[in-house]
Amino acid sequence: MAIGIAILGAGIFAKTEHLPAVQACSDLELKAVYSRSEKSAQSVVSDSSVGVYFDNPPTSDRTLKTLLSRSDIQAVIVVLPINNQPAIVKQCIEAGKHVLSEKPIARDVKDALELTKWYEAYSSPQKPIWGVAENWRYYAPFLKAADLVKEMKQNGGKLVTFRLEVFGFMSESSEYYHTEWRKTPEFQGGFVLDGGVHYAAGIRMLLAAAGEELAELSAFTNLVDDNLPLVDTVNATMKTSSGTTGTFSATWASPVRFGAQMEIAMTNGAVAATPVDVIVKKKGAEDKIDFKKSSGVKEEVDAFAKSILSGEPDPLLSPREATLDVEVIEKILQSGEQKGAPQALTAKSQ
């Protein structure tokens, strides 16, 4: 029997990514949707068999609490504004529902650690599974790149250096730009936090394959486009726990050049990955592997469903990993505010 699931949120990503991902997953059956207003909740699905829940106009039988009381709903996907998510995640877990919440896990490391520690200490006869959705960890090219880096390490390779470069443009014509909570952010970094955790997750995944983890960074930040508060461009030098250094550069203010690439250089080869291909370089040889473009959301939703069925959380959805992603961006922003002052990454030890 399929797992009954509800989508909490009626934003762009909920409609364009999570809804089709749920519909494509044979282990899940959409039972309900929830949003702040009845109109927005109704906009997610047209199927009359799917329950619609909302806060406005007020009702006694269409509230989130009512949705969470349904015994035929075992899991929820939370796709809400960053500042709202932690409280809703907690409410859902206390209602006994398995939870997949969108990244970032919280607006800052403090809130992320508080929620994660609360969950780890939470006790119930059948503790719900909680995962944090990070689709970059499910991009096929990045997973392939990680496997290749791991293979190089197993063959005696050592990390030489690494880099991440992202050139993007958040246009005023974008639907995401006009999302009010993004346009006027009440959380650190604005688009840099909202989008930057993807890049932190990606480079951390490749470094982990090389047996490394980030330990310290120094960054400079800037606001080039006044329409993209609070920061839109970051450049950081990073150091791993072994002392190896690399770079992390990203901008949301580049109207001409676009693209994202991560590269790991080992002593016995190098691997460069984008969302659609992987280039492998070894002495005297170079190979390119092409992939069909995918957001990775269907894969992460499928992994969430399988974790519920098996009772084993998927490590790629780990709240701890999501917290470390937020820490990378938070430390970049803090270093930028302090004119490049070095920042140690310590959330893992807390």
What pLDDT sits at residue 13? 95
Residues 192 and 332 in one domain: yes
- For residue 279 the two structure tokens come to 């280039």
Residues 101 and 77 in one domain: yes
Cα separation of 128 and 7, whole Å?
Answer: 16
Cα separation of 332 and 200, whole Å?
Answer: 11
Residues 96 and 48 in one domain: yes
Cα separation of 185 and 195, whole Å?
Answer: 13
What pLDDT sits at residue 249? 98
- For residue 309 the two structure tokens come to 């069925």
Residues 9 and 60 in one domain: yes
Q: Which domain holds residue 152?
A: 137-294+326-349
What pLDDT sits at residue 47? 87
Cα separation of 40 and 37, whole Å?
Answer: 5
Taking a C-beta distance cutoff of 8 angstroms, is the pair 161, 140 a contact? no
What pLDDT sits at residue 104? 97
pLDDT tens for residues 141-195? 999 999 999 999 999 999 999 999 999 998 887 877 777 767 778 888 888 999 9
Residues 208 and 289 in one domain: yes
What pLDDT sits at residue 263? 98
What pLDDT sits at residue 181? 67
Residues 289 and 303 in one domain: no
In sequence order, what E strands does the chain have?
3-8, 28-37, 51-56, 75-78, 98-102, 130-133, 159-167, 214-222, 233-240, 245-251, 259-266, 269-273, 277-282, 285-290, 343-344
Q: Residues 6 or more apart from 199 whose CB is under 8 A from it? A: 136, 164, 166, 248, 250, 260
pTM: 0.96
Residues 151 and 250 in one domain: yes
Q: How many domains does the chain have?
A: 2
Q: What is the CATH number of the domain that holds 242?
A: 3.30.360.10
Residues 340 and 231 in one domain: yes
Dihedral angle sign, alpha carbons of residues 140, 142, 148, 151? negative
Taking a C-beta distance cutoff of 8 angstroms, is the pair 44, 33 a contact? yes
Residues 314 and 335 in one domain: no
Residues 127 and 180 in one domain: no
Q: Residues 6 or more apart from 317 whose CB is under 8 A from it? A: 100, 131, 132, 133, 134, 137, 300, 303, 304, 307
Residues 224 and 117 in one domain: no
Under DSSP, is residue 11 helix (H, G, I), strand (E, B) or coil? coil
Tokens 């207003």 sit at which residue? 37
Tally the residues of the chain: 350
Q: What is the CATH number of the domain that holds 106?
A: 3.40.50.720
Residues 266 and 305 in one domain: no
**Low-confidence stretches of the chain (pLDDT beneath 70):** 181
